[in-house]
Structure 1
Amino acid sequence: MLEKLIAMVASWIILVISTLGYGGVALLMAIESACIPLPSEIIMPFAGYLVYTGELTLWGVALAGAVGCVIGSIPAYYLGMYGGRPLVHKYGKWLLISHHDLALADRWFEKHGEITIFIGRLLPAVRTFIAFPAGIARMNMGKFIFYTFTGSVLWCGLLAYAGMKFGQHWDQLKVYFHEFHIVLVIAGVIFLVWYVRRHFKAVRRSHHHHD
């Protein structure tokens, strides 16, 4: 059931990017940055594949992805600023935000300060929620946008580059995989199954602690 759902999500991601190009990349990355775990591990490599086919450019997709990340992070920042932790405790499980993820992002933020926003953008799972503690801490908005943008350009560029390289070697790899998007779906399935499992484990753990 979960695998089917993820396959549908992956097909939708591929359709959005194929149809909307750079706008699609920005839109999907905005969703991913707004505390909704839409895997950039599918979004950006597919955009990179389209760079290989000549439909998009590497700089273009990296910038579109980063702009999307900034757009999606701003509502998450304000959510942290005005809703704070009580909001996560109340609704987090529905948004797949566990106390564990938030505590991790919080700890990073307290320990390393504002540079965390840059580093956090390069870490799977953490990157989706990193805007939240910045909002709680009322970090300077200009700096927040700067660090979000620079970290995201790197992350999006690297994933797109991987997708582009993958595309270049497609002829040799075709023997093992028949369709490029199937590979992305499999990667997405593995990532999301791990992510959801980890989330529910953390939720169970926090219930035990509260009991």
Structure 2
Amino acid sequence: MEQVTMIFLNFIDTWGYLAVAVLMGFENACIPIPSELILGFAGKMHFTGALVAGMAGGMAGSVFAYAVGHCGGRSFVQHYGKYFLVKESHVAFAQRWFDQYGVKAVFLSRMLPVVRTFISLPAGFAHVNVKKFLFYTFMGSLPWTVLMLWAGMMLGEGWRLLTDIGHEASIAFIGLSVVVLSVLYVRYKRYRNVRDDGSR
């Protein structure tokens, strides 16, 4: 595993932003490469450049996986996924998330391990509206990409810590996001109530 990791790191060292985009594309196209590894190491790069590369690659990979699910269906992935290291158990896990939350799972799962890599497939199976898929994918991927790059930048040479606590970081981030969104929702409701009272 360490040898594979070093290959990825050398690839990023050699090709820079292009490598970040390619590897994030692979990860979001259901090739199991941890984004914590890619973005944590990319934290030493210029933040804006790494962010654009990571988001561009991630979006491209997500669209590819969505297209595979949309055009090939579940049976195609079951038959040929193993040749691309796609485990049926991972696809089933993402499918359960999609069944429970619908298209919103595309947003929520971008911040969770395993399911964020595979959620595009069930979205494709269900023929989710492309514009909605792109919107939720972008909105879910952006905060996670920013967080991982920022954490990699702050940790410096200790960026590998992200690969050890990736699951815990995901849960913490989801919890923080829920709190922030709840506060914003409460403030919005108060604003609407005050505005409605003032207009009467």
Give structure 2 stretches of 5+ with no counterpart: 167-200
Which residue is 1:144 aligned to?
133
- Report how far residue 79 of structure 1 moved: 0.9
Which residue is 1:12 aligned to?
7
TM-score, normalization: structure 1?
0.70
User: Larger helix proportion, structure 1 or 2?
Assistant: 2
Residues 38-117 of structure 1 aligned to structure 2 (within 5 Å)? 38-48=33-43, 50-51=44-45, 56-57=46-47, 59-117=48-106
Structure index of larger Rg = 2
Q: Which has the higher contact order (CA 8 A, sep 6+)?
A: 1
TM-score, normalization: structure 2?
0.74
- Report how far residue 19 of structure 1 moved: 2.3
Deviation per residue, 1:179-204 (Å, 9 max, x gap): x68x47x947x98xxxxxxxxxxxxx
- Report how far residue 68 of structure 1 moved: 0.6
- Report how far residue 37 of structure 1 moved: 0.4
CA contact (8 A) 1:118 1:151 kept: yes
CA contact (8 A) 1:74 1:131 kept: yes
Which residue is 1:134 aligned to?
123
Which residue is 1:198 aligned to?
none
Give the alignment partner of residue 21 of structure 1, picking from 16, 26, 32.
16
Which residue is 2:27 aligned to?
32
Identity within the alignment, %: 45
One-letter amino acid of the structure 2 residue matched with residue 161 of structure 1: W
Give the alignment partner of residue 145 of structure 2, picking from 147, 156, 179.
156
Equivalent pairs, count: 166
One-letter amino acid of the structure 2 residue matched with residue 126 of structure 1: V
Give structure 1 stretches of 5+ with no counterpart: 1-5, 171-179, 192-211
